[in-house]
């Protein structure tokens, strides 16, 4: 058996590959390559053996078949500690392969492009590359596999120092190689399920996929998670970009991203100028008005004095480019928010926040660059994951069921719909009170609905008189209705469906409340 050391190099990303190949040549390695990689290395003055010279077989099918050959894979997979393996290599005049350097066709980046075609996606599914990587990683006892340019210096350094790559390094490289191919295959699987990155195919609930492959890469490092003792990061599908761009302020945190997502989901419910204030993923302010300045003032003043209480240190989202007038109002006295999220920031707005005393670098300005969305939602539980379709149901006003003889006035109906759009974004058991398209009371996360009603009424105070109340679930007993009426509520919107619906409706009628049923529950755990 020849003492020639052999390295196979086949890369799409040419970053650092010439320097790596030059280092291998100096260490006595024969470089075997094909196609564009071989051409590139020769242009850099390196001596290269073509794969076709090793296999004695030409590249074919427009490059789809190059390295898929026993003379390549036997050289990679042969165990050096098994005499029978070495004898077979000698019998067929095959040289062992000691180093494999491969990176893959950019499938993830391809399917992340707008308007990518199915043909483009399929042609960027690498076949030979993953086969080389997996073969080398399997035989990592004898073969070092490099799958990223940042790994090249370590290999060259060890070759220069000891003449070989250490087993520890080969083991670590193998782990990263298997992670790469697993993620690559997951991305392909997800493409066939969901289509291009960012696409959402609405499927019936029963059509959730039989398997879900997670192919997530760390997109943003985070200082810590919900608490300082919890390491954390923001992960996205490979090839996907964050749906936001930070244009000012200190780094985004784990809690910021959770609250930002909650705020954007809610503000996106409305088409009129709207402002949402979120604290711990629940809205503590929400209003629509003729412009963002007015919407912010109403959202801010949804809480009774003294101010600020809940909103201080929260997150704001608006559904229009933020203008100077609204920015001046937001940065007024006794006010500070962690994040301001908007589809854009008009000229001069960034400077208002950056130069305002007490705000400066502490506030993060975040431009929402695309509407986030998913075909299904995942949540970790008991070492596994729960999956469900998103709660994208919109309320059809024509399908509302009038439960009582008293009908809501046009203004009350507008407030009922406004409140119901908010309540689907509040933690269950959820109660929302609204008046004139302004959130004035909320009860969230209580173990019983009556407690949530009481909390919402307490927040609303006297403003509850004549207001609209929304519930995310049915009322199990009439006591909720009695409490609402005593607090001055004039109209109620709720899903219905309780075995006590008759009692609840009868009591609402006696108390002269207008009540409509949606038939849609919006639990949020």
Catalytic residue ranges: 138, 280
For residue 206, how far is the Cα from the chain centroid?
Answer: 23
3-state secondary structure of 442: strand
Greatest extent of the chain over all pairs of C-alpha atoms, in Å? 98
User: Exposed, middle or buried: residue 68 (CB in 10 Å: 0-12, 13-18, 19+)?
Assistant: middle
Which string of b and e fits 353-375 if b means at least 16 CB within 10 Å? beebeebeeebbbbbbeeebeeb
Cis peptide bond upstream of 308, omega within 30: yes
d(CA 19, CA 506): 82
Give me Rg for the CA atoms of the chain.
31
Which of the 8 DSSP states describes residue 50?
E
Question: What CA dihedral angle connects 491, 495, 501 and 504, to 10 degrees?
Answer: -20
d(CA 321, CA 326): 10
CB contact at 8 A, 286 and 276: yes
| Orientation angle between helical segments 17-26 and 35-43, nearest 10 degrees | 70
| Orientation angle between helical segments 152-162 and 17-26, nearest 10 degrees | 10
């Amino acid at each position: 058996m020849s003492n020639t050391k052999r390295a196979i190099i086949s890369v799409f990303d040419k970053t650092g590959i010439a320097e790596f190949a030059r280092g291998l040549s100096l260490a006595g390695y024969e470089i075997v390559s094909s196609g564009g990689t071989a051409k590139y290395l020769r242009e850099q003055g390196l001596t290269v053996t073509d794969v076709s010279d090793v296999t004695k077989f030409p590249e074919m099918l427009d490059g789809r078949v190059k390295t898929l050959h026993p003379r390549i894979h036997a050289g990679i997979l042969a165990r050096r500690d098994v005499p029978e393996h070495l004898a077979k290599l000698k019998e067929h005049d095959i040289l062992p392969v000691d180093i494999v350097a491969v990176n893959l066709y950019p499938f993830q980046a391809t399917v992340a492009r707008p308007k990518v075609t199915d043909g483009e996606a399929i042609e960027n599914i690498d076949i030979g590359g993953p086969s080389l990587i997996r073969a080398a990683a399997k035989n990592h006892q004898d073969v070092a596999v490099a799958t990223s340019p940042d790994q090249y210096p370590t290999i060259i350094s060890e070759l220069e120092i000891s003449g070989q790559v250490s087993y520890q390094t080969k083991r670590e490289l193998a782990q990263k190689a298997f992670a790469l191919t697993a993620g690559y295959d997951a991305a392909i699987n997800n493409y066939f399920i969901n289509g291009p990155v960012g696409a959402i195919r609405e499927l019936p609930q029963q059509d959730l996929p039989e398997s879900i492959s997670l192919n997530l890469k760390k997109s943003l490092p985070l200082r810590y998670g919900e608490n300082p003792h919890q390491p954390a990061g923001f992960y996205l599908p490979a090839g996907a970009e964050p749906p936001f761009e930070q244009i000012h302020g200190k780094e985004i945190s784990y809690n910021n991203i959770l609250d930002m997502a909650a705020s954007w989901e809610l503000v996106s419910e409305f088409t009129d100028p709207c402002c949402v204030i979120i604290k711990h993923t629940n809205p503590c302010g929400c209003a629509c008005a003729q412009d963002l300045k007015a919407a912010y003032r109403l959202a801010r003043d949804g809480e009774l004095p003294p101010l600020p209480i809940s909103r201080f240190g929260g997150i704001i989202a608006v559904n229009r480019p933020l203008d100077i007038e609204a920015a001046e109002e937001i940065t007024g006295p006794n006010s500070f928010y962690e994040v301001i999220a908007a589809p854009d920031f008009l000229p001069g707005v960034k400077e208002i926040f950056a130069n305002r005393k007490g705000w400066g670098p502490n506030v993060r300005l975040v431009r929402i660059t695309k509407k986030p969305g998913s075909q299904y939602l995942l949540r970790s539980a008991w070492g596994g994951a729960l999956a469900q379709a998103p709660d994208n149901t919109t309320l059809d006003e024509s399908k509302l069921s009038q439960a009582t003889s008293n009908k809501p006035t046009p203004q009350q109906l507008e407030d009922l719909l406004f409140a119901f759009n908010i309540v689907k974004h509040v933690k269950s058991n959820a109660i929302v009170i609204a008046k004139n398209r302004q959130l004035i009371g909320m009860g969230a996360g209580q173990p019983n609905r009556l407690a949530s009603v009481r909390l919402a009424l307490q927040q609303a105070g006297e403003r509850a008189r004549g207001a609209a109340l929304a519930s995310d679930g049915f009322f199990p007993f009439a006591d909720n209705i009695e409490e609402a009426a005593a607090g001055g509520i004039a109209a109620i919107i709720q899903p219905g469906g309780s075995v006590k619906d008759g009692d609840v409706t009868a009591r609402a009628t006696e108390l002269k409340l207008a009540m409509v049923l949606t038939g849609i529950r919006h639990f949020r755990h």
